[in-house]
Structure 1
């Protein structure tokens, strides 16, 4: 277990993995931009595609400490982290079980690519543990989950999934992007491999594209063995930017989680809102489970307007909240999953996951909630007038 996990989370965010500026004694990590390093008479033969430049190694220590794992790897995108991790543990003839509701990019990767590799896959019919068990075969090697799920914020029982997997000798992977290590550390519930789109909460400022994987040293080495061949490494400038952003991760995510709970309660009482999906609401089907395995409920929620209101017109009428792709920036954003994150799925596939065309995903930022509420009120007024 990572020795740094005994430190407070703000201390980990600020100090673990920082590089010492031995020459000028600066307060932050120096940036090493070189793509060519000496190979003779050195302890480490550094090569950017091997994920071992000074800035890459330092950042991985911070991410591992946050997820309470021995090691970590960083990638050029969240999908690079997802795809490399899955391919590291799956080969021709193997089988993977995935939960029914997944990020559209992950779903599309599986259904578009796995048949080419001769990898079998099954999606559960629900998030109940019996449905995960029902899909397990003799050749199942991985169970892949995502909690809270994108975009309906469904919660999976990590402990039950872990126990089931260990019973059958199966590796567990989780997309922990929506929660971030601030809201949950899946290793506490027995999950083996944690995956992130670091573009989101880890980056947090809508200016970084990156992915991350955290796991045991053994599992990370296995992922690294294929990662070095697939070439999904990250430029050191982006690595340096991400290390900078992680220093405020806990502060940002706590504020976003607090704001999201306030906004969810407001939206739930608004007569123009039909349904609100947020695990911090007592009306949420998985509220008790979320409370048991999450420290806070996260900064993401989704909602559906009543059918009389034009969803796209409403979003265009927002003035402070930005209709924008992606999520988890310090600024609040909304989008329509059917047109963005889940556009690669057919309408039938979206409908089967409960993702309606009128669904709006709301990434709550750090602004004052009074200002966000006022913006929604004026947008509703200008949409229905």
Structure 2
């Protein structure tokens, strides 16, 4: 049975396991050593070389999840993103990046590329034609993110991949918001898949990690750059991440269900101006999302009415946590302008459509009735303050 034919839960649970040959334990043993023998061994192991026993085992699981030949684990999502980009770009090259991307990726591009003589363009939108308009003779990489952070825009993955192949250009995608549970971009023609494994793969808001997955040929280049940048992950965190992934499919499917119910509720609320969620039939990317995703994800964003103070709303929440990051089993909300996209200028945020009133909502696995009740009581309290004032 090949990895691609195994069920998702089976891959999450069993792929890349390390056998406990000494005590026959049910879980992978943890090897904490940072120093290994170098004589008379098949592999000269060193943590920065991404080849300790736990690192190698987890990389097998990661590759199986995204249907790739190989993977590498990094210390954060940004370590994975920056290493992947720098592995395939050099002075004189050009990269096209989707307009609607994670703020950290945007900041990396505008603050670092010029130092290395790399030019870049941001698309004016997220359609295939928007990518094509920005391609130059020296373009080497097309970089996309779908669903995007924080507005949940949907990009035609196969369309961009086909365009890139026709032009002889490499494609990279940030698949964090979808997770491998909802979307496997390599099956649609993408070359390199990147995740902040801190999010759905970790799933418990207690580890920081990133991962790059691709063909062995591409991953050899990522490895050559990675060992120079030194963004490897400690084996204890690797072990925790391997443990967490075992329940990823179950967690994400529950979060998908909660997000769909929550988006439906918010879209019908008189206190909400707009909801961004690809599962809603009036979302402009709904049909495309249906064609390339197996679930619409656990993330949504919404805008409160202008007469409801978002900062006061955050303070009145009792169950949902106003907290940075996303994709944990607990539901969280944040203001992108104050957190994930704070390094962008107000002008650039406006170009993406990110307003100060926008709230990004990561659905957890709580009972949806309790989450809705928390939102309703918080809004009611804010309204009562306004009336009193």
TM-score band by shorter chain is over 0.9
Distance in 2 between the 1:214 and 1:131 partners?
26
CA deviation string 1:328-358 (max 9, x = no partner): 0000000000000000001111001000001
Give the 3-state SS of the residue equivalent to 2:72 in structure 1: strand
Displacement over 2 Å in runs of 4+: none
Q: How does 1:1-385 map to 2 (within 5 A)?
A: 3-385=2-384
Distance in 1 between the 2:29 and 2:104 partners?
34
Distance in 1 between the 2:248 and 2:157 partners?
23
The alpha carbon displacement at 1:3 in A equals: 3.4
Distance in 2 between the 1:5 and 1:72 partners?
15
CA deviation string 1:285-323 (max 9, x = no partner): 100000110000000000000100001101110000000
Q: Determine the structure 1 residue equivalent to 2:387.
A: none
Q: Structure 2: give runs of 5+ residues left out of the alignment.
A: 385-389
Q: Give the TM-score, by structure 1 length.
A: 0.99
Distance in 2 between the 1:132 and 1:342 partners?
22
Distance in 1 between the 2:379 and 2:32 partners?
49
The alpha carbon displacement at 1:147 in A equals: 0.3
Distance in 2 between the 1:291 and 1:323 partners?
30
Give the 3-state SS of the residue equivalent to 1:52 in structure 2: coil
Aligned residues between the structures: 384
Give the 3-state SS of the residue equivalent to 2:251 in structure 1: helix
Distance in 2 between the 1:188 and 1:111 partners?
31
Distance in 2 between the 1:176 and 1:127 partners?
15
Q: Give the TM-score, by structure 2 length.
A: 0.98
Q: Structure 1: give runs of 5+ residues left out of the alignment.
A: none
Distance in 1 between the 2:127 and 2:230 partners?
37
CA deviation string 1:246-305 (max 9, x = no partner): 000000000000100000000000000000000000010100000110000000000000
The alpha carbon displacement at 1:6 in A equals: 1.2
Distance in 2 between the 1:246 and 1:177 partners?
14
- Kindly report the root-mean-square deviation, in angstroms, between the aligned alpha carbons of the 2 structures: 0.7
